[in-house]
A = this chain, B = another copy of it.
Amino acid sequence: MAYKYLFFSDYSEGCHPRILECLSRTNLSQEIGYGEDTISLEAAKLLKEKIRIQNVDIHFVSGGTQANLISLASMLRPYESIISADTGHINTHEAGAVEATGHKIDSFRNPEGKVTPETIQCLVVEHRDEHMVKPRVVFISQPTEVGTIYLKKELEALLQVCKESNLYLFLDGARLGSALTAKDADLDLKTIASLVDLFYIGGTKNGALLGEAIVVVNDALKPEFRRHLKQRGALLAKGRVLGSQFLELFRNNLYFDLASHANAMAGKLSRGIKDLDFGFLTDSRTNQIFPILPNDLIEKLNKLYGFYVWSKIDDSHSSIRLVTSWATREEAVDEFLSDLRRLK
């Protein structure tokens, strides 16, 4: 690749060096397998402290699709379905993983990538007929796939509707760090845990080699969760690998520092692009931004930098997706902005 820098994703680099150090340090100790090693247990303990709720179950899995398909399968009876925005990761980029467990996704269009109380109510009413699936879980991503975030009052409103309609609220936190540390964000782990039935804390996209930490809040979802994991191939024999990621990420708040850095880099990119008078597809304050640029400019930029063209805006403009990470150097951002200024 001759690119100056890749803004494809936040998983272009390896992991924070402290994680590799932890793996090395503990490498030859003998441990019990399948997530019951001392490192994973310690990591789970640490996470509970950070969440400040002891009464949750923590399970580490290797990736987001796994976290989604397993969590959802654990919540549903065969005829039950999931409410999701059409941009939801489960609805677009998981190769039908959820349907492969037997469940329909009831999706609907929302430009902000969000589920709203009104949509939920509407879908619940629409599906009263027993010839239809029955919605049982509301799936949201924090941040959404288009970089926006839910505020506390929005989550509270969703929870309210979920309670009224006997729905679980499930939060996909593949990029949760970025959402929690975003400008104007008003949520922390504890508040999230108090508002949803199950969520996960993404490691892969915030400095881990791999790994998501599933947090089971609702007591009804706790029993036999490990059999769900095993059945879907998610119980790593050397669970220590996953435990080590979260042990380091949550020691001394590294997780939040890394996310803040990614957000800061995206923010700088964003401001620089705005200064050149370009608009954006959404009002993202997280580490994914979606500037709208002329197609010929996109073409030129794309020879220098790796990124995805996201959506067509009109015949001569498209939005692109730029993603920064815990490892994005400020120089790369500056260089991108300077090239953009030059090429526009």
User: Chain A residues in contact with chain B, CB under 8 A?
Assistant: 1, 5-6, 8-9, 11-15, 17, 20, 23-24, 26-34, 61-70, 73-74, 77-79, 81, 92-97, 99-105, 129-134, 204-205, 209-210, 224, 226-228, 230-238, 240-241, 306, 327
Contacts and interface: CB of A to CB of B under 8 A. Distances in A.
Contacts of A133: 95-96, 99, 227, 231
Contacts of A29: 13-14
A33 to B, nearest CB: 5
B231 A79 contact: yes
A63 to B, nearest CB: 6
Contacts of A15: 27, 238
Given A13-B27, A102-B100, A132-B92, A233 B69 contact: yes
A66 B129 CA distance: 19
A224 B134 contact: yes
A15 to B, nearest CB: 7
A31 B13 CA distance: 6
Chain A binding surface SS class: loop
B78 A73 contact: yes
A8 B32 contact: yes
A136 to B, nearest CB: 10
Given A134-B224, A238-B209, A327-B28, A233 B230 contact: no
Contacts of A26: 14
A238 to B, nearest CB: 5
User: What 7 pairs across the A-B complex have the smallest Cβ distances?
Assistant: A66-B233, A14-B27, A79-B227, A95-B230, A96-B133, A95-B231, A11-B237
